[in-house]
Structure formats: structure tokens, C-alpha cells
Amino acid sequence: MPPSTVSTLPGLRCLIVDDEPLGRRAIRSHIDAHPLLDAVAEARDGMEAMAALRGGGIDAVFLDLEMPKLTGFEMLRALLIPPLVVVVTAYSDRAVEGFDVGVVDYLVKPVARERFAKSAARLLSAAAERTRSDASPSAPAAASAEAGQSGASTSGASFFVPTDQGAERIDLDDLRYAEAWGNYVRLHLPGRTVLTKGPLYDVARSLPDAAFVQVHRSYVVATRHIQRVTSSAVVVDGQEIPVSERHRATVVARLGLA
């Protein structure tokens, strides 16, 4: 998934994440008063926030920490390439943890107008720096793209999916393939299958392009776990998965078989 970039609109497009309506309203009032920020979406918990981020068009997130289903830090750790994040919380003792996961700033409720202005300045500076980095391809990035041909490493990366038992963490190293199954997606892992509601497209957006390839409208496969390739299928953990005519050329190119 590509990193978020700075909008060409006058303001950075911001997502407000807080389970309390008053908390969302307070941050929105600060954003609305700032000429270079634009509140484009709100979410009541981490799962809603991840769905909003998958939809794209978000440059920055103002994130509460203590929320149902998925906490703010759990959400951040589940994102492969998180957007720019400003934590907004009532807990002042968790700032160090916030900076450990790369947040831009840490605001303690209630947020004063002057303090928000400083945070906005840091956010805009970080956005400008990210834009410069995105515009200048680096050697490590090029190496990563090349590695994707044969299955890039996803060591330590994970993401959360909603299930009937709550949000479940999926380690990318363990995920063999995702399969569309009616109104659900089956995530195939060693010794078990996780069922999550929604289209395959939603899950596919959470997977790094360098490590996964869509082989069929119903299947997305981890390239590093492909054991064999035939003219009409790939084999993963002994399971034959069909490759459609539409996706064959992409699969062949991604596996370096062209």
C-alpha cells in the first residue's frame, strides 16, 4: 500500500478518531479554525478508522487512545504504512509510548488553541518532509521493489480484521492466502482459518503489493509461500489455487517467470 501524501487541496485531509462525540467535536473545532487543515472524516473506534484509511484520501489522523474494539496504539501497530498521526488523549503518561510508534505529536485533553497550533505546525512540517521523501526514490526503496518480484519480507508486520470474536491480529508472515467466500473472506494461516466479513478488496488493500499478488478474482496469495506454478494454478501449502486468464500475466511477471 502506498503511503499517504499531502493533498493538493488547501488543507491536509484529516481523520478524527475518538469514541466520544464531545472529543471529536472539540478537535473538529480546532481543525476548522486552522487554514491548512481540513477535517474530512470521523471514526468512533479503531476498526472504523482503519476502514476510512483503506478508502484513501487521508493525510493525517488525530487519534484518541482508549477506544472499544481496537485501541489507538493497536491500530497504529496494525498499519503497514501509517499516516501522519497526532495522538489526542486524556492520559499524559503515555507520551513515550506514542513517540515509540512514530507519532508526530501528543496532545493532552482538553487541548488549548495555542497548543493545537504548535501541533498543527509540526504536522505540516512532517507532511512536507514526507512529500519530499516520496518524490525522491531511494536505493532502499528500489531494492525493496526488486525484492517484490520473488516475495518481499513482511517480517513483524501485521494487521487487524473484524471477526465475530472481536478484532484479530493477522501476522503477514503467517498469511498464506486470502479467499473470497460469499460475503466473507477466509484468511488461510498455518493450522487455522480466520473468517472476516466484507469483500476481498478490503483485505487486499491491507496487504503490501510487494509481498502479495492477486491470482484470481477470489484469491490473493503470498508470493513467498508459492511452491509451484502451472499454466492455470499456483500451489500454496499443497493447495492448488486457480490463476485466471485476466491475472496470469501479472502473476508471471511478479514471480520473474516472464
Alpha-helical regions (H) of 16-67: 21-32, 46-54
- In the three-class reduction of DSSP (H, G, I as helix; E, B as strand; rest coil), residue 219 is classed as strand
Which of 104, 99, 95 lies closest to 124 in space, CA to CA? 104
Per-residue pLDDT, averaged over 79-108, amounts to 73
pLDDT at position 22 = 95
Residue 5 has pLDDT above 50, yes or no: no
Instruction: For 170-228, write each residue's pLDDT tens digit.
Output: 899 999 999 999 888 999 999 999 998 888 888 888 888 889 999 999 999 999 999 99
Instruction: For 115-125, write each residue's pLDDT tens digit.
Output: 999 999 989 98
Per-residue pLDDT, averaged over 24-44, amounts to 95
Share of residues in the chain with pLDDT > 90 (%): 42
Q: What angle do CA 49, 171, 43 make, to 5 degrees?
A: 5
Residue 142 has pLDDT above 50, yes or no: no
Mean pLDDT lowest among 70-79, 101-110, 151-160: 151-160
Residues in the chain: 258
Residue 164 has pLDDT above 60, yes or no: yes
pLDDT-derived band at 160, boundaries 50, 70, 90: confident
Q: Can you name the residues that pair with 158 across neighbouring β-strands?
A: 171
Instruction: For 8-27, write each residue's pLDDT tens digit.
Output: 345 799 999 999 999 999 99
Name the packing angle between helices 21-32 and 113-135 (round to 10°). Answer: 70
CA distance 213 to 202: 14
